[in-house]
């Protein structure tokens, strides 16, 4: 739906929420790729209207239920924690739904807030990792198993690896033949899959927690001074392991360029950013993380980078049916970009481990 082109349609949705519609203005907002997002200006403030992408989230009602459970828990146990919860409709539901329009939610826009798409410095990395750590720490006594799974097998590395090996048999053989170097590297790193399985089978050392699962920096609201306010975009909040949040931060913060970069010479590991991520996360989670989780901090990055490389290559071999492609070989470039990042992480691992050990000792 193009909200700016169909204001009457937007009004029909917003009429179900307790906000005034007079002199309302609607415009597209943000850089997210999954859900359509709009900024609503009305007489009593600003709000964010989102349509939930049902191609990705097959049960939007699960998202609404999870957020309701978490909001109720935080209000009881941590009433001063800043948590942005959707408005309820006039029928006291967390989300608007109509069969011909889909699922929508409306949340207050946080005044004075901003989000950024790229980590530029250590201070930004610290603020972001601290916010994600704070979110999980506040929910440390919440039973994660009461939450619904909004994206089944989202970070299931064994499944992703099996999908990769299957597509080598069934996928586009011309593309597969041209990607032998990348395939050989992926196969040479199978130990990451085995270690991942050890983590998932050891609940004492690696407990299931409430994890965000999408810890890119744009999912943190910052104030005008770039200080963290709260985490947002909670669609992927569900039970998971520490490596999902930690690993995704390492994957998306450490390199000065993104997974879209075609010049692999620009890919690198920024050591000060790593130190800031550890400090920020430990500042909230040092008393919650097990010794094994702390010691596996760098490995968490390996899991997520390796998994993303596999997913991009698998889609390339499957003729781009999941991510799509903006140009020929787009997903191959993305996959080999992540391979280059994993190689850089492997090279930097001794330096990163030394920093990690120091931070673990300092946090005792």
- pLDDT (0 to 100) of residue 246: 98
CA 277 to chain centre: 15
Q: What's the CA gap between 240 and 209, in Å, rounded?
A: 5
Q: What's the CA gap between 138 and 363, in Å, rounded?
A: 19
179's CB contacts (< 8 A; 6+ apart) are: 313, 316, 317, 332
pLDDT tens digits along 336-353: 999 999 999 999 999 999
Q: How confident is the model at residue 4 (pLDDT cuts 50, 70, 90)?
A: very low
Q: What's the CA gap between 18 and 34, in Å, rounded?
A: 26
Q: Give the burial class of 37: count Cβ atoms within 10 A of its Cβ; 0-12 exposed, 13-18 middle, 19 or more buried.
A: middle
Residue 8 pLDDT > 80 = no
CA 119 to chain centre: 15
Q: Which of 36-45, 48-57, 273-282 has the highest mean pLDDT?
A: 273-282
- pLDDT (0 to 100) of residue 10: 79
Could you give phi then psi for residue 147, rounded to 5 degrees?
-85, 145
Of 314, 332, 307, nearest to 178 (Cα)? 332
Q: Which two tokens stand for residue 239?
A: 């039970």
Residue 231 pLDDT > 80 = yes
DSSP 151-183: STTTT-HHHHHHHHHHHHHHS-HHHHHHTHHHH
Q: What's the CA gap between 306 and 290, in Å, rounded?
A: 24
Which uninterrupted H or E stretch holds 184?
helix 180-188
**Residues pairing with 190 in the sheet:** none
Contact 313, 325 (CB under 8 A): no
Average pLDDT value for residue range 317-321: 95
185's CB contacts (< 8 A; 6+ apart) are: 339
- pLDDT (0 to 100) of residue 30: 64
Structural domains in the chain, CATH included, are: 7-108 (3.30.200.20), 122-362 (3.90.1200.10)
Q: What's the CA gap between 251 and 245, in Å, rounded?
A: 10
Q: How confident is the model at residue 7 (pLDDT cuts 50, 70, 90)?
A: low
CA 266 to chain centre: 23
């Amino acid at each position: 739906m193009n909200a700016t082109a169909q204001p009457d349609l937007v009004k029909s949705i917003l009429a179900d929420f307790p906000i005034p519609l007079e002199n309302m203005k609607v415009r597209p907002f943000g850089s997210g790729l999954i859900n359509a997002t709009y900024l609503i200006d009305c007489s009593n403030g600003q709000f964010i209207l989102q349509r939930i992408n049902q191609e990705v989230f097959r049960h939007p009602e699960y998202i609404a239920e999870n957020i309701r459970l978490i909001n109720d828990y935080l209000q009881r146990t941590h009433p001063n924690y800043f948590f942005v919860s959707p408005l309820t409709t006039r029928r006291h539901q967390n989300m608007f739904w109509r069969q011909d329009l889909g699922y929508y939610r409306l949340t207050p826009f946080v005044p004075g807030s901003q989000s950024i798409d790229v980590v530029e410095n250590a201070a930004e990395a610290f603020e972001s990792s601290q916010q994600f750590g704070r979110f999980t720490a506040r929910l440390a006594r919440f039973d994660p198993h009461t939450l619904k799974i909004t994206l089944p097998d989202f970070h299931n590395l064994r499944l992703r690896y099996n999908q990769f090996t299957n597509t080598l048999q069934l996928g586009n053989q011309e593309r597969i033949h041209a990607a032998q170097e990348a395939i050989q590297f992926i196969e040479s790193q199978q130990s990451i899959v085995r270690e991942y399985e050890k983590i998932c089978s050891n609940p004492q050392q690696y407990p299931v927690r409430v994890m965000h699962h999408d810890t890119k920096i744009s999912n943190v609201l910052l104030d005008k001074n770039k200080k963290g306010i709260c985490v947002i975009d909670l669609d992927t909040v569900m039970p998971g392991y520490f490596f999902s949040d930690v690993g995704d931060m390492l994957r998306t913060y450490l390199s000065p360029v993104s997974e879209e970069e075609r010049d692999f010479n620009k890919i690198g590991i920024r050591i000060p950013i790593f130190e800031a991520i550890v400090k920020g996360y430990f500042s909230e989670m040092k008393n919650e993380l097990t010794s094994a989780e702390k010691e596996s901090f760098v490995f968490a990055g390996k899991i997520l980078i390796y998994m993303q490389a596999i997913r991009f290559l698998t889609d390339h071999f499957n003729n781009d049916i999941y991510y799509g492609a903006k140009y020929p070989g787009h997903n191959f470039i993305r996959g080999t970009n992540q391979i280059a990042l994993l190689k850089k992480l492997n090279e930097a691992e001794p330096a990163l481990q030394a920093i990690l050990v120091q931070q673990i000792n300092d946090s005792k």
